[in-house]
Structure 1
Amino acid sequence: MRPQCDIYDLHRVEYGQAFDLQKSAVRRMLRGELGNTVLLLEHPPVYTIGRAGGGENVLIGEQEREKLGIALFDVDRGGDVTYHGPGQLVGYPILHLRDWKNDVREYLRLLEEVIIRLLAGFGIEAGRKEGMTGAWVGNEKICAIGVKANRDTANQGYISSHGFALNVDPDLSHFGHIVPCGITEFGVTSLRKVLGRPVEMEDVKQRWQSAFTEVFEIDLKMGTATVDELSTRWGEVL
């Protein structure tokens, strides 16, 4: 029997709200009260620094950041600093990895494969780079991936959180104020930059869902709820 998964399209969500919602979902899963769940959304401009990162890879100070309207969060995912903003499809798959061999590295490869297949549908040849996560077009990263494996001791496995950020048509200049993922030798790109034309976010979302269903061999069920409604349902107040 294929795993089942609820998916919610939450549209524009402040980073702090989405971070809290992920933690609420993980706690529910650890108590056996929630099944596989995916959150799709966009964030207002924000830099997030993962466990492998440090403030030195944010190249502007607080005043300039605030002038640009870019927030800053230290978070508990793997990886270094990255940028999220409008025009970027962000996905947080919160999954029981027991359905995928409890293998975190394999889970990362599956997330990458979803993006590679999605991009292939646009005629974009993307791939991986040795020793790095994400999806790349040549020497430019088009999708960043950073996850956390939350230990589920009751089931001797892991529950995933955090996820991917696919550059559809974000303000790429905001990447210029950080060292993305701590990588200095390669750049970043977007679907719009590669294709030379605008791309509808709704089309990208649908293509991601199709590729995710195929790669993960999972059945998706579309949920209808806002961030506040999910927060109430999952017993947390944002």
Structure 2
Amino acid sequence: MTEEQKDSTLGRDDLPTLAITLLKGVVYRDGNERLWASLLELQARVRDYVAVLGLELAVDEAEGYAFVKSRSGHDTDVENGEPAKLPRLVARRPLSFPVSLLLALLRKKLAEWDAGGGDTRLVLTREEIVELMRVFLPASTNEARLVDQIDTHVNKIIELGFLRRMKTTGGPPAFEVRRILKAFVDAQWLLEFDARLAGYQAHLDSSTVSERQEDSNE
């Protein structure tokens, strides 16, 4: 059965399909308009459905995405009236320093792109992503190694769902910055971006000093 045929089978009461799809990842309007329409129609019921699992439904109709996240509060234990923590269904994923840095740079780039008032889709080539990262990474004379390292970080961000690899025909590798990144790196965070970059730079400087000390001791 094709995806279009699957879409046509979605009904008003297809809550399990919506819930399972959300548990597997983000639902995008541009990826499945039929499913998106069902989600908007059944939004209140989906919220109740996932709440049983201790989850919240987050929907951004303007940007066209929806996802579930763990509730910030906890249910009350009916026996003793105290908060009862549920096991976390949506796991928190610790991120490495370079991945965190690249996410911050992509979020800032997305904000600048939106301020320009152009196309809503931000697409960057691998070379452009490398240039974003280069100034914040230890100086390296091995260009191929640097690119390989950044490719590893990019692949991790693709896995997290914040970048999407574009299909290209002979051109350089390109990636779409998914707009859901705005939900995880918010405007308040961006206001503190310069201070955070200073912290990143200090981290980089200390790492470089440590590496040089290790090299001199060998």
TM-score class, shorter-chain normalisation, is under 0.3
**Larger RCO, structure (CA 8 Å, separation 6 or more):** 1
When the two structures are superposed, what TM-score results if normalisation uses the length of structure 2?
0.26
When the two structures are superposed, what TM-score results if normalisation uses the length of structure 1?
0.24
Greater fraction helix = 2
Greater fraction strand = 1
Name the larger-Rg structure. Answer: 2
